[in-house]
């Protein structure tokens, strides 16, 4: 299995290069489509295809299909985006048989944008009218900050907070940290009590990105012509130095995330907190079943006492692909899927998705106390966090490469060779050269 | 997989009659040690898989990974079979359809082609054979994207045929059967068959196929394993879970483990169940296979 996977990843990369190479040839035709992107209803009954990897999505689509006899949606599910579905989207766009709708995570949207795979829904009045329904920063992710444009509809969000072992903090007389300075101080006490305050994610760089996001930084910027790269910007540097210090003092562990070893650290009480997104609630309850009832959730620690910023980790959108002949109907379905109470409730129940709409935070299912967290209504914390995520964090068009390069460096840093900051600086260079090799203009 | 199959025992002549070199105890122990280490290396992951498949979710992370905790294999299997409306059963069925059909038809096609190349003289024979030989060198993954674009032209992506048709092609099978037919099917026998009034097709199926049988089993086994383990082509071609083979199905579950942790258990149990057909086929056909590999080595 391992060999197959390695081989397929290699091949995927090769394919990605191939497709990237091919598509830059016909990139010249991209400009004219904006004007042609009308959003008119089609005559007669319409059939749409929708590719996603949301578990239990069939049930949600059935509800739509029953109520909308003339817009029937066929749903197809498969591996997650980076597991192959994104590459399939690119292949399909090239072959001209992409589905009408597809799920794309926020961090992959710029890639599809650069490859000219997305329909601008700015021509659809309903879509623009719905802007106010969504939490501001999620809209910012799909509009790339351009007024009157929307390249996808926000689906879910991953606002971050602090999961912590309430019982251990109390038994050891440690106050729940509200600032990062307090968090570092608490880490020393936790260490003295024989644990690690948390695990530094060496291979899932998204968590680190979420921390930079909270600090108000951004890794990329786009002024419409050129991409700016700022992996080692001011906020990034601040976050990197903070965690480097904790790693140097052995106050955090560095087990690879999402492994059974990592689960076990939480299950046995070796790790006491986790700064994670709303969906992390499920990861803990399933990975550490022996600790039921002992966890609680608090807002993320802040850089300055009294601040109230949160990070975001994950989240995805529903996009309409170039080539869809039924943009109006597709956007209608995407809006229903991501704003209606019935769809959001089902998505939350079946797939644990946290809505990207303002009203979604008030779903009855999200108001209940959660037994695993000692009955705390944890989603209240995330509802507040969601509104506190700064707008303006921008992803780049080559995130797969960025993640790979940064995590390579991080893996070295946690084992003592190099530093987190040095990894970011070196990824800065490799990212710029990757962008340039794909003929994507980079701001100097 | 093939590494798990034991190789044929060396024909060791009795020490008294043998004039061969006496192996020292040291070198024998060394060889055994190396083989022991490799056996362990190949078997431990399978052992881990078997053990893990019997644990429930809590015990999976909290107990010794190489030894059993409470036995919940039956619950795990039945949960797997019921998950998402029994989609796993469907995937196994798909895999069997792709594999059995593809391996059988592929073997027939390859052997006919190899036989023709070995036994008939016609213009361009060697060129044709060299082209086929070139095909052996091209990795299947490199062909997946071109195939996808071609199948897109005829609207066959995301169908059973998108995976089945490419699986029928086996340049290695052609190569092997050509070599084997040349060595094991005597021209005189074909002559005799023709004199007796047998048509070429009938001769092939009644006479030649029997002589070539060990080679056919080898080709069949190779094809079977290759198609059963085929992952990249289905990943590129298929969107609809209903036509997924089990490899792609398990992979797609595995990518969702972060979101739905219960899938981790299903992936493990599913992986265990998915290797069973391979083991069965190997055990049933291993006798013929060994014959096939060995035949012709001493002449």
Token representation of residue A355: 């809505």
Say how far apart CA A103 and CA B71 lie, in whole Å.
39
* Largest distance between two CA atoms of chain B: 74
Split at pLDDT 50, 70, 90, the class of B63 is: confident
| Nearest CA distance, B142 vs chain A (angstrom) | 7
pLDDT of the residue at B23? 75
The average confidence (pLDDT) of chain A is 89
pLDDT of the residue at B61? 72
Split at pLDDT 50, 70, 90, the class of B294 is: low
Q: Is B32's pLDDT higher than 90?
A: yes
Of the candidates A51, A53, A260, which has its C-beta nearest B256's C-beta? A53
Within a domain: residue B97?
Answer: yes
What are B223-271's pLDDT values in tens digits?
999 999 999 999 999 988 899 999 999 999 998 887 777 788 899 999 9
pLDDT of the residue at A376? 95
Residue range B23-39: average pLDDT? 92
Distances (CA, A) of A413 to A247, A401, A419: 9, 18, 5
Contacts of B260 in chain A (CB under 8 A): 55, 351-352
* Buried/exposed B238-272: b ≥16 CB within 10 Å, e otherwise: bbebebbbbbbbbbbbbbbbbbbbebbbbbbbbbb
| Nearest CA distance, A403 vs chain B (angstrom) | 17
Residues B61, A351: C-beta atoms closer than 8 Å: no
Of the candidates A55, A258, A290, which has its C-beta nearest B260's C-beta? A55
Within a domain: residue B34?
Answer: no
Q: Does A144 touch chain B (CB under 8 A)?
A: no
Q: Please tell me chain A's helix, strand, coil percentages from 3-state DSSP, rounded to the nearest 5.
A: 50, 15, 35
Q: What interface predicted TM-score (ipTM) does this complex get?
A: 0.79
Of the candidates B62, B252, B258, which has its C-beta nearest A79's C-beta? B252
Q: Does A352 touch chain B (CB under 8 A)?
A: yes
Multiple choice CATH, A43-157+315-366, 3.40.190.10, 3.40.50.720, 3.90.1640.30, 3.30.2320.30: 3.40.190.10
Q: Does B146 touch chain A (CB under 8 A)?
A: no
Contacts of B148 in chain A (CB under 8 A): 91, 95
Residues A79, B148: C-beta atoms closer than 8 Å: no
Residues B251, A76: C-beta atoms closer than 8 Å: no
| Nearest CA distance, A263 vs chain B (angstrom) | 7
Identify the H or E element spanning B278: helix B262-294
Q: Is A415's pLDDT higher than 60?
A: yes
Which residues in chain A (33-62) have CB-CB distances under 8 A to chain B? 51, 53, 55
Residues B239, A91: C-beta atoms closer than 8 Å: no
Of the candidates B58, B141, B158, which has its C-beta nearest A290's C-beta? B58
By CA distance, what is B261's nearest residue in A? Answer: A286
Q: Is A30's pLDDT higher than 60?
A: no
Of the candidates A11, A267, A268, which has its C-beta nearest B232's C-beta? A11
Say how far apart CA B299 and CA B293 lie, in whole Å.
14
Q: Does A30 touch chain B (CB under 8 A)?
A: no
| Nearest CA distance, B74 vs chain A (angstrom) | 21
pLDDT of the residue at A184? 96
Split at pLDDT 50, 70, 90, the class of B287 is: confident
Q: Is A312's pLDDT higher than 80?
A: yes
Of the candidates A15, A94, A282, which has its C-beta nearest B261's C-beta? A282
Say how far apart CA B205 and CA B194 lie, in whole Å.
14
**Structural domain total, chain B:** 1
**B173: CATH:** 1.10.3720.10
pLDDT of the residue at A228? 95
Q: Is B131's pLDDT higher than 50?
A: yes
Residues A7, B141: C-beta atoms closer than 8 Å: yes
Residues B241, A78: C-beta atoms closer than 8 Å: yes
A187-191, A437-441, B17-21, B64-68: segment of lowest average pLDDT: B17-21
Q: Does B262 touch chain A (CB under 8 A)?
A: yes
Q: What percent of chain B has pLDDT over 70?
A: 89
Q: Is B197's pLDDT higher than 50?
A: yes
Contacts of A82 in chain B (CB under 8 A): 255
What's phi and psi for A338, nearest 5 deg?
-110, 0
Split at pLDDT 50, 70, 90, the class of A25 is: very low
Interface test with A, best of B61, B257, B260 (most A CBs within 10 A): B61
What are A112-135's pLDDT values in tens digits?
999 999 999 999 999 999 999 999
Token representation of residue A164: 């912590």
* Alpha helix stretches (DSSP H) within A37-101: 57-67, 85-95
DSSP structure string for B100-114: IIHHHHHHHHHHHHH
pLDDT of the residue at A314? 93
What are A323-355's pLDDT values in tens digits?
999 999 999 999 999 999 999 999 998 888 999
Q: What percent of chain A has pLDDT over 90?
A: 78
Domain that holds residue B288: 85-294
What are the domain boundaries of chain A?
43-157+315-366, 160-312+394-437
CATH top-level class for A160-312+394-437?
alpha beta
Q: Does A289 touch chain B (CB under 8 A)?
A: yes
The reply to whether domains A43-157+315-366 and A160-312+394-437 share a CATH topology is yes
Which neighbouring-strand residues pair with A101?
A50, A320
Within a domain: residue B68?
Answer: no
Q: Is A425's pLDDT higher than 90?
A: yes
Torsion angle of C-alpha atoms A236, A242, A248, A252, degrees rounded to 10 = -100
Say how far apart CA A404 and CA A82 lie, in whole Å.
12
What are A203-244's pLDDT values in tens digits?
899 999 999 999 999 999 988 889 999 999 999 999 999 999
From the CB of residue B120, how many other CB atoms can be counted at a distance below 10 Å?
A: 10
What are A138-155's pLDDT values in tens digits?
999 999 989 999 999 999
Q: Is A73's pLDDT higher than 60?
A: yes
Residues A283, B232: C-beta atoms closer than 8 Å: no
Q: What percent of chain B has pLDDT over 90?
A: 63
Residues B255, A267: C-beta atoms closer than 8 Å: no
pLDDT of the residue at B292? 56
Q: Rg for chain A (alpha carbons), in Å?
A: 22
Contacts of A83 in chain B (CB under 8 A): 251-252, 255
Contacts of A84 in chain B (CB under 8 A): 235-236, 251, 255
pLDDT of the residue at A141? 95
Within a domain: residue B58?
Answer: no
Q: Which residue has the higher pLDDT, A23 or B297?
A: B297
Say how far apart CA B5 and CA B3 lie, in whole Å.
5
Of the candidates A18, A96, A290, which has its C-beta nearest B145's C-beta? A18
Q: Does B238 touch chain A (CB under 8 A)?
A: yes
Q: Please tell me chain B's helix, strand, coil percentages from 3-state DSSP, rounded to the nearest 5.
A: 75, 0, 25
Q: Does B136 touch chain A (CB under 8 A)?
A: no
pLDDT of the residue at B21? 64
Interface test with B, best of A6, A11, A50, A83 (most B CBs within 10 A): A11
Residues B271, A1: C-beta atoms closer than 8 Å: yes
Contacts of B69 in chain A (CB under 8 A): none
Residues B235, A88: C-beta atoms closer than 8 Å: yes
Q: How far is CA A290 from the centre of its chain?
A: 28
Q: Is B148's pLDDT higher than 60?
A: yes
Q: Does A13 touch chain B (CB under 8 A)?
A: no
Q: Does A386 touch chain B (CB under 8 A)?
A: no
What are A31-44's pLDDT values in tens digits?
334 434 578 899 88
Interface test with A, best of B46, B52, B66, B145 (most A CBs within 10 A): B145
Residues A117, A90 contacting (CB under 8 angstroms): yes
Residues B256, A352: C-beta atoms closer than 8 Å: no
pLDDT of the residue at B289? 65
pLDDT of the residue at A323? 92
Q: Does B252 touch chain A (CB under 8 A)?
A: yes
Handedness of CA A362, A363, A367, A372 (dihedral sign): negative
Handedness of CA A143, A118, A203, A258 (dihedral sign): positive
Within a domain: residue B159?
Answer: yes
Q: Does B27 touch chain A (CB under 8 A)?
A: no
- How much is the pTM? 0.84
Q: Is B48's pLDDT higher than 50?
A: yes
Residues B231, A264: C-beta atoms closer than 8 Å: no
Split at pLDDT 50, 70, 90, the class of A261 is: confident
Across the A:B interface, residue pairs with CB atoms under 8 Å apart total 105
């Amino acid at each position: 299995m391992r060999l197959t996977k390695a081989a397929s990843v290699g091949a995927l990369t090769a394919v990605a290069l191939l497709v990237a190479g091919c598509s830059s040839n016909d990139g010249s035709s991209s400009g004219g489509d904006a004007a042609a992107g009308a959003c008119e209803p089609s005559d007669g009954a319409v059939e749409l295809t929708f590719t996603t990897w949301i578990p239990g999505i069939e049930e949600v689509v059935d509800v739509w299909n029953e109520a909308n006899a003339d817009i029937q949606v066929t749903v197809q599910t498969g591996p997650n985006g980076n597991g192959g579905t994104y590459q399939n989207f690119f292949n399909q766009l090239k072959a001209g048989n992409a589905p009408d709708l597809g799920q794309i995570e926020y961090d992959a949207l710029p890639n599809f944008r650069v490859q000219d795979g997305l329909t601008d829904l700015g021509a659809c009045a309903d879509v623009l009218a719905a802007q106010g329904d969504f939490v501001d920063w999620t809209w910012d992710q799909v509009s790339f900050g351009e007024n009157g444009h929307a390249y996808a509809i926000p689906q879910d969000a991953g606002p971050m907070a602090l999961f912590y072992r309430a019982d251990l903090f109390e038994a050891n007389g440690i106050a729940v940290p509200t600032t990062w300075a307090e968090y570092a101080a608490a880490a020393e006490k936790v260490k003295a009590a024989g644990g690690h305050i948390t695990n530094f994610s060496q291979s899932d760089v998204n968590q680190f990105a979420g921390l930079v996001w909270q600090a108000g930084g951004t890794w990329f910027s786009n002024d419409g012509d050129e991409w700016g790269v700022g992996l080692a910007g001011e906020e990034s540097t601040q976050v990197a130095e903070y965690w480097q210090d904790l790693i140097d003092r052995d106050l955090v562990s560095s087990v690879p995330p999402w492994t059974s070893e990592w689960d076990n650290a939480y299950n046995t009480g070796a790790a006491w907190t986790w700064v994670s997104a709303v969906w992390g609630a499920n990861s803990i309850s399933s990975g550490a079943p022996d600790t039921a009832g002992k966890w609680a959730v608090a807002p993320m620690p802040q850089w300055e006492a009294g601040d109230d910023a949160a990070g975001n980790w994950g989240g995805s959108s529903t996009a309409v692909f170039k080539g869809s002949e039924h943009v109006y109907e597709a956007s209608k379905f995407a809006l229903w899927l991501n704003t209606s109470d019935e769809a959001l409730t089902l998505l939350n129940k079946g797939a644990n998705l946290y809505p990207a709409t303002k009203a979604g935070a008030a779903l009855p299912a999200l108001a209940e106390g959660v037994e695993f967290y000692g009955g705390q209504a944890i989603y209240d914390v995330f509802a507040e966090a969601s509104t506190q995520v700064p707008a303006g964090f921008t992803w780049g068009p080559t995130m797969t490469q960025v993640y790979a390069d940064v995590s390579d460096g991080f893996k070295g840093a946690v084992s003592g060779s190099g530093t987190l900051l040095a990894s970011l600086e070196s990824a800065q260079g490799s990212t710029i050269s990757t962008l340039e090799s794909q003929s994507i203009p980079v701001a100097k | 997989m093939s590494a798990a199959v034991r190789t044929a025992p060396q024909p060791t002549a009795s020490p008294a009659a043998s004039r061969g070199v006496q192996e020292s105890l040291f070198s024998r122990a060394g060889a055994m040690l190396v083989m022991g280490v490799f056996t362990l290396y190949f078997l431990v992951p399978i052992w881990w898989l078997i053990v893990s498949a019997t644990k429930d979710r809590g015990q999976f992370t909290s107990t010794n990974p190489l030894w059993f905790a409470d036995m919940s294999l039956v619950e795990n299997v039945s949960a797997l079979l019921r998950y998402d409306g029994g989609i796993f059963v469907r995937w196994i069925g798909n895999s069997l359809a792709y594999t059995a059909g593809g391996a059988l038809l592929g073997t027939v096609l390859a052997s006919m082609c190899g036989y023709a190349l070995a036994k008939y003289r016609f213009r361009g024979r060697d060129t044709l054979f060299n082209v086929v030989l070139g095909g052996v060198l091209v990795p299947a993954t490199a062909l997946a994207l071109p195939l996808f674009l071609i199948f897109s032209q005829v609207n066959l992506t995301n169908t059973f045929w998108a995976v089945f048709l490419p699986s029928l092609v086996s340049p290695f099978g052609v190569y092997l059967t050509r070599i084997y037919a040349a060595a094991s099917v005597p021209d005189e026998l074909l002559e005799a068959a023709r004199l007796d009034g047998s048509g070429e097709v009938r001769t092939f199926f009644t006479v030649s196929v029997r002589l070539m049988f060990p080679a056919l089993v080898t080709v069949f086994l190779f094809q079977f394993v290759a198609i059963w383990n085929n992952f990249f082509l289905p990943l590129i071609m298929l969107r609809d879970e209903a036509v997924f083979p089990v490899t792609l199905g398990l992979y797609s579950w595995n990518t969702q483990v972060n979101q739905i942790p219960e899938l981790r258990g299903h992936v493990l149990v599913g992986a265990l169940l998915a290797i069973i057909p391979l083991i069965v086929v190997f055990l049933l056909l291993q006798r013929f296979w060994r014959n096939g590999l060995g035949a012709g080595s001493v002449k």
